[in-house]
Amino acid sequence: MLHFAKWKIALIAAVCALSVLFCLPNLLPQSVLAKLPKDFSSRQIVLGLDLQGGSHLLLEVDVKTVVVERLNALVDGARTQLRQDRVAYTNLGVAGDSITLQLREAGDAEKARAVIRALDPDLELQTNGAVVTARMTEKGLRDRKRAAIEQSIEIVRRRIDETGTREPTIQRQGDDRILVQLPGVDDPERIKNLLGKTAKMAFRLVDTTVSEADIAAGRAPPGSDILPSEESGSRRGQPGGRYAVQKRVMVSGDTLTDSQPTFQNGEPVVSFRFDSVGARRFGEATRQNVGKPFAIVLDGKVISAPVIREAILGGSGIISGSFTTQSAQDLALLLRAGALPAPLNIIEERTVGPGLGQDSIEAGKWATALGAVLVVGFMILCYSLFGVFANIALAVNVLMLLAVMSVLQATLTLPGIAGIVLTMGMSVDANVLIYERIREELRNGRSVLPAIEEGFKRAWGTIMDSNLTSLFAAILLYIFGTGPVRGFAVTLGIGIVASMFTAGMVTRLLVVLWLGGRRPQSLPI
């Protein structure tokens, strides 16, 4: 019992020293942290939404829009291909969740089916005389909706990360909803505006053949749309701040690789750059349309309609308009993050004020302090000096827990504080098992050293079983839980592992050191 390997002593000393070191960033003032290396000073425990306040948003993905857009794209593709194959038809369009067309000659039905099947092999085709109907299969609908949800989560994550929000919670909830929790956000309206835009951008030519009277009346010829301007009032002769814009997309925003806010002639603008494919298309489009106005369309609104002065072959350009510095930054952010596949609707919104968070912190402090006092007092009262050893191990346990959370930059929530309090009780529970086993060995007539040796050895199996079952529960809570439940699982799981280390190593070392120095004939236990 008196033999304790030197490497174990070194390990315990190293763990204690590192625990204190990694806890320091949470205790030092900001003025001191600013002088320390950033990699070290940034390793802090992040307070969750319920502790520091912030925004809670529940978003719903409008998956129906994804299906409608897909069907409209198939209609455009079918229209072009049917004309090339000289298949006469009428009334081609979207009806509900299907595509229908009326053939002029029923004998062309097989040709029409072949054209539509080539566009999307997953479509279900039906022919009733000269009427051909195409509908997406159930599997196709599920796959497209699932892809839309997953892509939406990724785009939301990119947009939130671009704002600099630390430790956001972004996760799927249900079939078509996304839960977003943003601790410490002091401008929730900006976040809502960023998430409320799909940011689908396209470069399209302005249709200069449409008269001002037709634009004012909202009349557009086939192949063109009347779109509102992002700016109020009339610009470049377009009445009512509206433009007639060709439906054909010259270049899609999908080919953008970067966008940054900048200044031109003292005014905020947004610079952009295409990838190689987009640069080639943009260069070709501008070369063929020198002298013509082209519209930069974002989410169905014209944000700028400059005239092409010369071919733009470098793959980059400038978007100008009535931008403020903030709006230019937000537009650049949206373009960098990418377009959402479908609109997001905010169906639930909650704002947690920092005052409520401070109340939670104070309540958590009181609960932790009270729990610590009760545990420490109980151990000293019941086990005397050995209770002091258990309390020292408990302090090491808490330090290890906070250090690991700091290194991982884990989020501490109110349930997480509850997990810390529970961990304190479970930590001394291992020592209680050891001490009670030692008492039992003493009652059975063993001397001091054999009783302690057997107490640690025989109690360890029970400690392992109880802690492992609790650890498995914590792991399952983390895997299947969400939000605050995960916060509780994190602190509980780390605390359990730390308590196994402190009970088996730290407490044992303290007992060995005491035995070596005192050589007692009886135990104060």
* Per-residue model confidence (pLDDT) at position 393: 92
* Per-residue model confidence (pLDDT) at position 233: 42
pLDDT at residue 512 is higher than 60: yes
* Per-residue model confidence (pLDDT) at position 1: 53
* Per-residue model confidence (pLDDT) at position 132: 87
> Residue 42 and residue 163: Cα distance in Å, rounded?
18
**pLDDT tens for each residue of 54-94:** 888 899 988 888 888 888 888 878 888 888 888 888 888 88
Q: Are strands 46-47 and 411-412 parallel, antiparallel or unpaired?
A: parallel
pLDDT at residue 424 is higher than 70: yes
- Among 221-235, 275-289, 313-327, 470-484, the minimum mean pLDDT is found in 221-235
SS in 3 state form for 494-521? HHHHHHHHHHHHHHHHHHHHHHHHHCCC
Q: What is the arithmetic mean of pLDDT over 157-162?
A: 84
Burial class (CB in 10 A: 0-12, 13-18, 19+), 335: buried
For the chain, the average pLDDT equals 83
Start-to-end C-alpha separation, the chain = 17
- One fold for 6-53+354-518 and 64-136: no
182 in Cβ contact with 164 (< 8 Å): no
* Per-residue model confidence (pLDDT) at position 356: 55
Of 101, 150, 152, 154, the residue nearest 129 (C-alpha) = 101
Share above pLDDT 90 across residues of the chain, in percent, rounded to a whole number: 6
pLDDT at residue 261 is higher than 80: yes
**pLDDT tens for each residue of 29-45:** 877 887 888 777 778 88
SS in 3 state form for 201-260? EEEEEECCCCCHHHHHHCCCCCCEEEEEECCCCCECCEHHHEEEEEEEEEEEHHHEEEEE
Give the model's confidence band at 354: pLDDT under 50 very low, under 70 low, under 90 confident, else very high: low
* Per-residue model confidence (pLDDT) at position 17: 93
pLDDT at residue 353 is higher than 70: no
Helix (H) and strand (E) counts in the chain = 16, 18
Please work out, in degrees rounded to the nearest 5, the angle formed at the alpha carbon of residue 63 by the alpha carbons of 62 and 66. Answer: 110
Burial class (CB in 10 A: 0-12, 13-18, 19+), 412: buried
**pLDDT tens for each residue of 219-229:** 888 778 898 88
* Cβ partners under 8 Å of residue 411, min gap 6: 45, 46, 47, 48, 167, 169, 183, 487
* Per-residue model confidence (pLDDT) at position 518: 74
* Per-residue model confidence (pLDDT) at position 28: 81
Tokens of 308: 């092409």
* Per-residue model confidence (pLDDT) at position 483: 66
> Residue 42 and residue 428: Cα distance in Å, rounded?
32
193 in Cβ contact with 330 (< 8 Å): yes
Longest dimension (CA), the chain: 109
449 in Cβ contact with 518 (< 8 Å): no
| Fold category of 202-333 in CATH | Gyrase A; domain 2 (3.30.1360)
> Residue 18 and residue 303: Cα distance in Å, rounded?
55
SS in 3 state form for 137-156? CHHHHHHHHHHHHHHHHHHH
Of 105, 67, 115, the residue nearest 341 (C-alpha) = 67
Of 477, 468, 378, the residue nearest 431 (C-alpha) = 378
Residue range 6-53+354-518, CATH number: 1.20.1640.10
* Cβ partners under 8 Å of residue 368, min gap 6: 417, 420, 421, 424
Tokens of 147: 């892809």
Q: Where are the domains of the chain?
A: 6-53+354-518, 64-136, 202-333
| Count of CB atoms situated within 10 Å of the CB of 196 | 14
Cite the beta strand spans of 253-342 per DSSP E.
256-264, 267-274, 294-298, 301-304, 316-319
> Residue 218 and residue 209: Cα distance in Å, rounded?
14
> Residue 297 and residue 328: Cα distance in Å, rounded?
15
Give the model's confidence band at 12: pLDDT under 50 very low, under 70 low, under 90 confident, else very high: very high
Of 97, 163, 204, 176, the residue nearest 343 (C-alpha) = 176
**pLDDT tens for each residue of 115-138:** 888 888 878 888 888 888 888 888
* Cβ partners under 8 Å of residue 458, min gap 6: 437
Give the model's confidence band at 282: pLDDT under 50 very low, under 70 low, under 90 confident, else very high: confident
* Per-residue model confidence (pLDDT) at position 235: 42
Of 295, 303, 296, the residue nearest 232 (C-alpha) = 303
| Fold category of 64-136 in CATH | Gyrase A; domain 2 (3.30.1360)
Tokens of 519: 């050589």
Q: For the chain, state the CA radius of gyration.
A: 34
Q: What is the arithmetic mean of pLDDT over 174-182?
A: 86
Alpha carbons within 13 angstroms on the beta-carbon side of residue 54 total 22
